Amino acid sequence: MMKHKLLVTFILVLFLLSSLVLAKADKLTAVETIPAKDMDNVVIVPIQVENTQDLVAMDIPLEWSEGATLDKVVFTDRVEHMQFKYADMNNEDRQVIIGLVSMVYTDAPDLTSGSGVIAELHFKLDAGVENLQLNTFETQMPHHSLTYYYNDYSTGRPEVKAVKPELNFALLGLPDGSAIPTSYALSQNFPNPFNPTTTISYSLPEAGDVEISVFNVLGQKVRVLVEGHQEAGEHEVMWDSKDTNGEQVASGVYFYRSQVNDFSETRKMVLLK
């Protein structure tokens, strides 16, 4: 790990000795969030690079707003051929330094000019977070700043040039269902009255072992709808008005109860036939 850090630092220092230009057509973009599959408290932020020339390296230091923890950085197929790919995550300061170099050990192609996602940032969100803001930053020892590097052959021999790309970062609103609830809740079933199916929604501000059960008016447990560990987020389950044995229950008043961690709540519903 230390060897890799020293290697990328040495390479980037060499690049910084080259001339620096501002290329308005080159961009770094992060304008959307994608909910992670089967993980209610995780969102993915694609990082898109738009480059007008073939790139030999990229230095991408990023920071983010409070309420999120960077779980991992996943590099995409667009940069699969680049020999050095590095993501130094620092959740204490909410920062990550992403470094990519095309050729380190053997001959390798540069990143072809074009536009596409080079990495996906997977963030775990705190309860109540409604948006996420990304930005870039600079460090001095060692030096890091948002920079693209390419070879300039205009003089007849390759000369490394440094490009400062435009930022295209938006305040990232979270996709529906990705914001974590701030409190436990058991919602009224819908529809109610119902025949033969109804949906029960509930909120978990933190992960826990959940049980959602249905009882008759005598207090007898008719059916267990949910039993097991679930992540924080908004959840729902459907009841088809059948008991544990798969038999259709009689019409009438029923109760459903949510139990998770130290939370417990019961509501009434009516089955009509």
DSSP annotation string for 212-255? EEEE-TTS-EEEEEEEEEE-SEEEEEEE-SB-TTSPBPPSEEEE
CATH for the stretch 2-173: 2.60.40.680
Structure tokens at 165: 């790309």
pLDDT given at position 30: 87
- Please state, in angstroms and rounded to a whole number, the distance separating the CA atoms of residues 100 and 120: 14
Does the pTM surpass 0.85? The reply is no
pLDDT given at position 6: 45
| CB count in 10 Å sphere of residue 30 | 22
What is the chain's length?
Answer: 273
pLDDT given at position 51: 92
pLDDT given at position 234: 82
Answer yes or no: are the C-beta atoms of 72 and 122 closer than 8 Å.
Answer: yes
Which amino acid makes up residue 239? W
Sequence ranges of the chain with CATH classification 2.60.40.4070? 185-271
- Please state, in angstroms and rounded to a whole number, the distance separating the CA atoms of residues 25 and 163: 10
Sequence ranges of the chain with CATH classification 2.60.40.680? 2-173
Q: CATH second-level architecture of 185-271?
A: Sandwich (2.60)
pLDDT given at position 137: 93
Region of 17 (left: φ > 0; alpha: ψ -120 to 50; beta: rest) is alpha
pLDDT given at position 178: 56
List the pLDDT tens digit at each of the 273 positions of the chain.
444 544 445 444 444 444 444 445 789 888 788 877 666 678 899 999 999 999 999 999 999 999 999 999 999 999 999 999 999 999 999 999 999 999 888 888 999 999 999 999 999 988 778 788 899 999 998 899 999 999 888 888 878 889 899 888 877 776 665 567 888 999 999 999 999 999 999 998 888 899 999 999 999 999 999 998 888 888 889 999 999 999 999 999 999 999 999 999 999 999 998
Which residue, 40, 41, 98, 31, is CA-closest to 68?
A: 41
Cα distances from 238 to residues 189, 202, 212, 232, 242, in angstroms, run 9, 12, 11, 19, 11
